[in-house]
Amino acid sequence: MKVLIVDNGTSYLPQLENLLIGSLSRAIKYSEIDSIDADDFDAVVLSGGHGFPVSGNEERLQKEISLVIDSKKPIFGICFGFEVVARAFGAKLELMQNKERGILDIQVVVPDELFLNIQNFQVFESHRWVVKEPAEDLMVLARSKDGVEAIKHKTRPIYGVQFHPEMFVEKTCGSEVFHNFLNVIK
């Protein structure tokens, strides 16, 4: 499988690439999206990032937002990438009072292939923004005490998770969720 990673300035890129061992992956910066044809890949992963928020920077992120809206390829957004997916379809992001960082409990609210038969699990979080309710084209798959944790487009193979599946893989179920995505799109 050939996977394009859109690097949104994540400091977890090596860990993300480790999740893709066995797949051919290529990482590019979000600003370089127009230099590559996403159709040359089987899937696109939008990484996390911490340089600036999605909210208020939609113009700066227009290439990535357009990729989400226009691509027919499966997409998996992680944290910042989740927020890009949510904004691309019109969801509002809210700034939290305090940054969420650490292991958090997640509850599946809509069963999906992404979670197989898991109902509750733990993941690693590191973010300041949340989606309280997604846009009309997206369905909520999982929630935490903070809000929406996983979304799926209603008709296209687009997923987003607020958490970091690439971190603390020995203590959380994040890597299983990510690998379930790869298995779903095969």
Average pLDDT over residues 71-98: 95
CB within 8 A of 161, min separation 6: which ones? 76, 77, 78, 79, 82, 123, 142, 149, 150, 174, 177
Q: What distance in Å separates the CA atoms of residue 38 and residue 103, rounded to the nearest whole number?
A: 33
pLDDT in tens, 8-61: 999 999 999 999 988 889 999 999 999 999 999 999 999 999 899 999 999 999
Locus of tokens 């949510």: 86
> How far from chain centre, in Å, is Cα 154?
16
Average pLDDT over residues 80-94: 96
Please report which helix (H) or strand (E) contains residue 182, including its range.
helix 174-185
The backbone torsions φ and ψ at residue 56, rounded to the nearest 5 degrees and listed phi first, read 90, -5
Sorted by where each begins, the domain ranges of the chain are 2-185
pTM value surpassing 0.85: yes
Predicted confidence (pLDDT) at residue 87 exceeds the cutoff of 90 = yes
Q: Give yes or no for a contact between 162 and 150, defined as CB atoms under 8 angstroms apart.
A: yes
Q: What distance in Å separates the CA atoms of residue 63 and residue 77, rounded to the nearest whole number?
A: 15
Annotated catalytic residue: which of 83, 100, 125, 166?
166
Question: How many CA atoms lie less than 13 Å away from 80 in the CB half-sphere?
Answer: 22
Annotated catalytic residue: which of 64, 83, 153, 164?
164
Q: What distance in Å separates the CA atoms of residue 102 and residue 163, rounded to the nearest whole number?
A: 10
Annotated catalytic residue: which of 64, 79, 125, 173?
79
Residue 96: DSSP 8-state: E
Lowest-pLDDT choice from 54-58, 106-110, 118-122, 151-155: 118-122
CATH topology of domain 2-185: Rossmann fold (3.40.50)
Whether 173 is catalytic is: no
* pLDDT confidence of residue 98: 87
- Percent of residues in the chain assigned helix, strand, coil, to nearest 5: 25, 35, 40
